[in-house]
């Protein structure tokens, strides 16, 4: 019985360790995302399309604003 209990305990501890690592990686990724305000896939596609529109002349820069 002790061998079986030890195997179960090792399995549970391994699962907890992997779960903690996944949690920690996700937490750090979210922290960096918030810190650097990284564009995700959809935002990057929209930004690329807007830049293409400016280059092609479809979209003109707004000139009515003044910088304070």
Secondary structure element (H or E) that encloses residue 49, with its range: helix 41-56
Banded pLDDT at 38 (limits 50, 70, 90): low
pTM of the model: 0.50
What's the total number of domains in the chain? 1
**In the chain, how long is the greatest CA-to-CA distance?**
80
> What is the DSSP secondary-structure string of 3-18?
HHHHHHHHHHHHHHHH
Task: Answer yes or no: is pLDDT of 68 > 60.
Answer: no
Q: Is residue 65 part of a domain?
A: no
Summarize the chain as % helix, strand, coil (round to 5). Answer: 75, 0, 25
Domain region containing 36: 2-56
- What is the C-alpha radius of gyration for the chain, rounded to an integer number of angstroms? 25
Q: Is residue 61 part of a domain?
A: no
Rounded mean pLDDT, 29-45: 80
Q: Is residue 9 part of a domain?
A: yes
Q: Is residue 28 part of a domain?
A: yes
Instruction: Tell me 64's DSSP state.
Output: S
Q: Is residue 67 part of a domain?
A: no
């Amino acid at each position: 019985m002790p061998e079986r209990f030890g195997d179960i305990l090792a399995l549970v501890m391994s699962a907890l360790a992997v779960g903690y690592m996944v949690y920690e990686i996700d937490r750090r990724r979210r922290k960096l995302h918030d810190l650097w305000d990284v564009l995700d896939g959809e935002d990057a596609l929209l930004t690329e399309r807007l830049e293409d529109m400016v280059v092609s002349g479809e979209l003109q820069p707004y000139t009515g604003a003044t910088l304070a």
